[in-house]
Each structure stands twice: as structure tokens, then as C-alpha cells.
A = this chain, B = another copy of it.
């Protein structure tokens, strides 16, 4: 499947923190660069996510903000 979201960052699952409804999935997209996603428990199970698995962190460009110090 190809999707209109502009950002599909390839990476590896580093950690999954289990919650009651949602889980936190930490994805390493480059050495020392991590992205945290909060997705539903059922999505984690459906995609059989586990540490070390290759995934994409997908973000719409309109959901990315820019900040400066």
C-alpha cells in the first residue's frame, strides 16, 4: 500500500511500553534518533510488533511542527 502521508521514516522497534488501551512504540530511525508513537493495543497485536522488527514511522506533513531555540 502506498499512502499520501509524506513522511514514512524507516526504522527498528526499540521498545514497546504496554498501556491499558494504547501502547507506546519507540522506533529508532537513525543512530541515536528515536520517534515515539502511541497506537492502539490492537494495532500492535495485528501487526505483531516486537523489539527489533523493521517498521515505518508514518506522519502527515501537516502534523509536523517546526520549532527553534
List chain A positions with a Cβ less than 8 A from chain B: 1-9, 19-22, 24-25, 27, 29-31, 33, 35-40, 42-44, 46-47, 49, 53-69
The SS class assigned to the A binding surface is: strand
| Residue pair B69, A54 in contact (C-beta under 8 Å) | yes
| Residue pair A57, B64 in contact (C-beta under 8 Å) | yes
Which of these, B3, B61, B69, contacts A67 with CB under 8 Å? B3
| Residue pair A37, B64 in contact (C-beta under 8 Å) | yes
Residues of B within 8 A of A21 (CB): 19-22, 24, 38
Given contacts A22-B21, A60-B65, A66-B57, contact A40 B2 (CB under 8 A): no
| Residue pair A68, B39 in contact (C-beta under 8 Å) | no
